[in-house]
A and B are shown apart, each in its own frame.
Chain A
Amino acid sequence: MSTNTITTQKVNFKVFRFNADNDYLPYYENYAMDVTSEEVVLDILNRIKWDHDGSFSYRRSCRHGICGACAIKVNGRSTLACKESMTTMIEYFGNEITLEPLSTKRAIKDMIIDKADFWDKHASVTPYLVADIDECPSCENLVSPHDAEELNEADLCIQCGACHYACPVVEINSDFFGPAAFVAAYRFESDIRDGDNQRLIHVNEEKQGVWDCAKCFECAEVCPKDINPIDKITKLHQMAFKKGVAKNNVATRHAVGFLHSIKKHGMLDEGGLVLYSEGVSIVKHIPVALQMFKKGKIIMPWNMPKSDKLDEIQKLIKSSSTVKF
């Protein structure tokens, strides 16, 4: 048996404190503590409550990474408190550690937030199986391992909200469903038993849907279950084209426009892409385009560079395309 020596380090914790009932503004309390290499972030929350201030509040239940209640932010990074080792956090951020709720503007008491927007969005993607299933079947409704793989582990989501409150678009556009709701949508869209025909349309709507994702990969980075929400978002994009629910709009034309451009030039024709995506709305880009033109940033169509061996690229497009729009 290997004997791991337990080490101890001094850490200064700067902890977000707020009680919506009494406090006008939040404040930060400092706690200096000895942290052992065996502790997780939840141990620290417990010790603050037990040893320093009994009124300190946070959510936790399972302490096994299952209930999804304990997600908070450590130095701005969304983490599952019961799963995240303090050693890793110290490696990442050093000995000055800030503990905050997932979203400070939604704080109710200390680490506890009002997660209503998260649940509302979750509920609005029909996060359940819609199927005509015989309630008294004569045999089991089996899903083959191969079909189950299609879920790509989206069913492991514990709705902790780490990704949702790490998503920059959620912060700016309150209509945006956010990565966790998309994971839920994908989980049921990819289930062969599901027969819902509205969900995919709903998550493709402008402003709220998958096309407003900025592709920043914050959600993939934070997910404690390694679900990779942006990968599910990409799959929802692909499904929209495959199932014919993709609307003809600036976002979808933007994706398809790449293909047209590559077919013609091998490279991307930047101006051509904007024109193809925007149509007549291109006029709104003219002021910036003029400035760019003056600085030699815009190539005239007749000077558009082409990839060498363009015929190879065209041949591959012909043989390897799997989608039609």
Chain B
Amino acid sequence: MKKLKYALFTGCTAKQSTPEQMMSTMAVARKLDIEMIELTEASCCGASHLQDYDDFLSLVLNARNIAYAEKHGLTMVTICNTCQLNTAMTKHRLDNNAELKAKVNEKLAEIGLEYKGTSNVIHFLYAIIDDFGLDKIKKMVVKPLSQFNIAPFYGCHNIRPSELHDESHKTKENPYNPTSLDDLIIACGAKNVDYEEKNKCCGFHIELQAPHTAAVLTGNAIAGATDQNADMMVTPCPLCHLKLDTQTKHASEAIGREVSLPVLHMQQMVGLALGCTPAELGLKHHVTEVNFI
């Protein structure tokens, strides 16, 4: 197989509150011999909030990010569900509306860039499943996580709206019964936990304006996984991770029940199975301690 090479859109979280996510992404890329060209010029995607204020500006900024991936002639890989949604949504809108695309390009021309629509945008989870292959990962596992029950937490913005996501990855994901993360858990040698909240919302985006609702959503998710005997959870989204990892106190208060589970980033789980060390994967950066390794 040809060596895989992507343009990496890190997003902001990986550079700030979830450094472990950046570390584990690079550790897994090294293990799988994937080359990552980091898009250091990229701006924030707006995290599904900027467009509530200024839709056009949000489109222009996201188009600029994609244009940089296009300049490298590479597929853009995201490591955050919300980055994936915002970027893929921008791509979808520009690719299907010539007038809008022309307007955006008029602005990008001021800085000597053009959005062409030539680069695909895909979340790292689907990049390793579609392009690298689950079977190959399975064969590379040196430390199977066989003693663990792991609950997948998919996060809204990777599975809904499904029509949009079906454009970027080959894996056919059923938004009501997603399986990609389950398959990855199994490939890593662990047992996947089925529970009702696996495809539900963690509440991250309303944490500030509706803290109670947000905390109930987080609490329900951890409680659901706990009740199906999960030892830990795993998620492809750093924002879900922040919520599930750092907000357990509020979540417990909101649902009237003490809940707390270690939460791994998808990359950390794969990294552990492939033999990376806890230090390489930044396991010490979690608020809810990961103390079983």
A and B from one assembly? Answer: yes
* Contact assessment for A255 and B52 in the assembled complex, using a CB-CB cutoff below 8 Å: yes
Cα–Cα distance between A317 and B46 once the two chains are bound (Å): 13
Using an 8 Å CB-CB cutoff, how does the interface string of A239-265 with B read, 1 for contact, 0 for none?
A: 001000000011100111011011000
Using an 8 Å CB-CB cutoff, how does the interface string of B120-157 with A read, 1 for contact, 0 for none?
A: 00000000000000000000000000000000000011
* Contact assessment for B160 and A218 in the assembled complex, using a CB-CB cutoff below 8 Å: yes
Residue A24 interfacial (CB < 8 Å): no
Which residues of the other chain, B, contact A268 by a CB distance below 8 angstroms? Answer: 12, 16, 44, 47
* Contact assessment for B249 and A288 in the assembled complex, using a CB-CB cutoff below 8 Å: yes
Residue A216 interfacial (CB < 8 Å): yes
* Contact assessment for A238 and B160 in the assembled complex, using a CB-CB cutoff below 8 Å: no
Q: Between A and B, how many residue pairs show CB distances below 8 Å?
A: 199
Instruction: Tell me the dominant secondary structure on chain A's binding face.
Output: helix
Cα–Cα distance between A271 and B242 once the two chains are bound (Å): 14
8 Å CB interface, B158-195 against A = 160-162, 174-177
Residue A267 interfacial (CB < 8 Å): yes
CB-CB nearest in chain A for B217: A168
Least CB distance from B152 to A in Å reads 17
Which residues of the other chain, A, contact B54 by a CB distance below 8 angstroms? Answer: 238, 241, 259, 321-323
Residue A195 interfacial (CB < 8 Å): no
Which residues of the other chain, B, contact A221 by a CB distance below 8 angstroms? Answer: 160-162, 175
Using an 8 Å CB-CB cutoff, how does the interface string of B70-103 with A read, 1 for contact, 0 for none?
A: 0000000000000000000000000000000000
CB-CB nearest in chain B for A75: B176
| Highest count of chain A CB atoms <10 Å: which of B15, B49, B56, B157 | B49
- If the complex has contacts A168-B217, A259-B53, A307-B43, are A218 and B201 also in contact, measured as CB distance less than 8 A? yes
The stretch of B25-33, B260-268, B273-281, B284-292 in contact with A is B284-292
Least CB distance from B68 to A in Å reads 9
* Contact assessment for A319 and B206 in the assembled complex, using a CB-CB cutoff below 8 Å: no
Complex partner residue of B60 from A75, A211, A241, A316, CB under 8 angstroms: A316
Residue A299 interfacial (CB < 8 Å): yes
Cα–Cα distance between A216 and B239 once the two chains are bound (Å): 13
Residue B233 interfacial (CB < 8 Å): no
The stretch of A1-9, A40-48, A109-117, A290-298 in contact with B is A290-298
Least CB distance from A103 to B in Å reads 15
Can you sample 10 A-B contacts with CB below 8 Å? A214-B203, A215-B48, A250-B209, A259-B57, A262-B43, A262-B61, A274-B208, A316-B61, A319-B110, A321-B54
